[in-house]
Amino acid sequence: LRAPRVTLKDIARASGVDISTVSRSLSGSYGINKVTRDRIAAVAAQLNYHPSRVSRGNATERSFTIGLIVSDVRNPFFADLVRGAADAASAAGYEVILCNSDVDAAKKIRHVQSLLAKRVEGLLMNSVIGLDRTEQERLTVSGPPVVLLNRPPTHSNFSTVTANNEEGGYIAGKYLIARGHQDIEHITGARDRGNFRDRVRGFTRACAATEESRTPVILYGDDSFIGGYDLMRLILARHSEITAIFAANDAMAFGALRACEEAGLQVPRDMSILGFDNVDLCAVVRPPLTIIHQPKYEMGRAAVEMILRALEKKAPYVPEHRQFGVTLVERESCSFPNADSLARKRVHVDVASM
């Protein structure tokens, strides 16, 4: 906005060739005499020429940018994902436009429209919920490749990248059962969120596979620190025999941890807590949380790589579905149930104030 921009025309004039020659030469599309190419390069450098990707984009229909909509970067889970996506993009000469939609459908719609208007070459978002039929239609028909993050591959027109949530739930259940826990509860978020549902399913399967075949208890609440906290307080007040908690995400696990602490219970001696996701915090908190880890960074990477790959082949876009394995990361928040703890808990429940 300060000094006049130097354009192809300027450097064409300055080096006495046609503007198209300069264009070809600089973008190296095809054969240019070495001497004129050098001259052009020299002039360009000396004039401090920097091509406009927007003009180029206008002519070529390519923007070299990818749209990324998450609910909130401040959520460490998404921060990891975003970083993975940004790195993959960057490595391929792309950049990402980052949007935060919270859980606001209107915001999400606005962002999708802005991103399409900016002609992003791909779109990553963690769900397509909130977009009505028309808009989904528009996305699939005239839009760029779309990858849904952390959503089960139901929307057959979009690609998906997910963790194997079902297996995660299963591993969690198995692990706790193997340590001798017989009374485990699973605290989780909204019933209609696919990834939560899958974790529930896996957990249930694990419980069903055990000899005693007890029907697992699932408690639904808010998928946040406070949600985990509240649910844990509820549990402490009601089911004094519970010895282990499987939390559907880390935030809930932290909340549960806090509730136990406040009730005077020691984790893991008096209560085992198993988390899901594995944000950095898990290792800093006391006790370090044992969790089911999902590779967030890699998932972000994979998502943009899927887009990039789709862009390569000019063949009609065919949705792809990639699922990442999850792993158990054992730290210090789970142990074997013990009788003393049960007694202690009973006392506390009597005392506990809701």
Partner DNA sequence: CTGAAAGCGCTAACAG
Partner DNA sequence: CTGTTAGCGCTTTCAG
Rounded to whole angstroms, what are the CA distances from 225 to 104, 111, 258?
A: 20, 28, 9
In sequence order, what are the residues at sequence separation of 6 or more whose Cβ sits closer than 8 angstroms to the Cβ of residue 270? 260, 341, 344, 345
Which one of a copy of itself, DNA, none is in contact with 18 (Cβ closer than 5 to 8 A by kind)?
DNA
130: three-class secondary structure by DSSP: coil
Among 116, 131, 237, 352, binds a copy of itself (CB under 8 A): 116
Among 13, 38, 45, 52, binds DNA (CB under 7 A): 52
For residues 7-46, which are near a copy of itself according to CB under 8 A?
none
Which one of DNA, a copy of itself, none is in contact with 80 (Cβ closer than 5 to 8 A by kind)?
a copy of itself
Check binding of 311 to DNA (CB under 7 A).
Answer: no
**Least distance (Å) between residue 24 CB and a copy of itself:** 18
**Least distance (Å) between residue 308 CB and a copy of itself:** 13
Positive or negative CA dihedral for 225, 280, 129, 199? negative
Check binding of 65 to a copy of itself (CB under 8 A).
Answer: yes
Rounded to whole angstroms, what are the CA distances from 119 to 22, 63, 101, 145?
A: 26, 6, 19, 12
For residue 338, what is the DSSP state? -
- Which token pair is 109? 């719609």
DSSP E strands, the chain: 65-70, 95-100, 123-125, 146-149, 159-163, 184-188, 217-220, 244-247, 272-277, 290-293, 321-324, 327-329
Check binding of 58 to a copy of itself (CB under 8 A).
Answer: yes
Which of 59/354 has CB closer to DNA?
Answer: 59
**Least distance (Å) between residue 142 CB and DNA:** 12
Which of 183/320 has CB closer to a copy of itself?
Answer: 320
Check binding of 86 to a copy of itself (CB under 8 A).
Answer: yes
Choices 21-29, 297-305, 312-320, 341-349; region in contact with DNA by CB under 7 A: 21-29
Which of 38/137 has CB closer to a copy of itself?
Answer: 137
Task: Give ∠ CA 62-63-68 in degrees, rounded to 5.
Answer: 130
Choices 56-64, 155-163, 179-187, 322-330; region in contact with a copy of itself by CB under 8 A: 56-64
Check binding of 106 to a copy of itself (CB under 8 A).
Answer: no
Positive or negative CA dihedral for 127, 129, 131, 136? positive
Among 21, 25, 63, 159, binds a copy of itself (CB under 8 A): 63
Whole-angstrom distance, CA of residue 126 vs CA of residue 101 = 10
Check binding of 95 to a copy of itself (CB under 8 A).
Answer: yes
Among 14, 21, 122, 341, binds DNA (CB under 7 A): 21
Among 13, 42, 58, 330, binds DNA (CB under 7 A): 58
Which amino acid, one-letter code, is at 29? S
Rounded to whole angstroms, what are the CA distances from 265 to 122, 246, 349?
A: 49, 17, 10
Site string for a copy of itself, 198-227 (x = CB under 8 A): ---------------------------x--
Whole-angstrom distance, CA of residue 255 vs CA of residue 257 = 5
Check binding of 80 to a copy of itself (CB under 8 A).
Answer: yes
Which one of DNA, a copy of itself, none is in contact with 82 (Cβ closer than 5 to 8 A by kind)?
a copy of itself
36: three-class secondary structure by DSSP: helix
Which one of a copy of itself, DNA, none is in contact with 32 (Cβ closer than 5 to 8 A by kind)?
DNA
- Which token pair is 146? 């779309």
By DSSP bridging, strand 321-324 and strand 290-293 are unpaired
Which of 12/147 has CB closer to DNA?
Answer: 12
Which of 36/100 has CB closer to DNA?
Answer: 36
Chain residues that interact with DNA, rule: CB under 7 A: 5, 7-9, 16-21, 23-27, 29-33, 36-37, 51-52, 55-56, 58-61
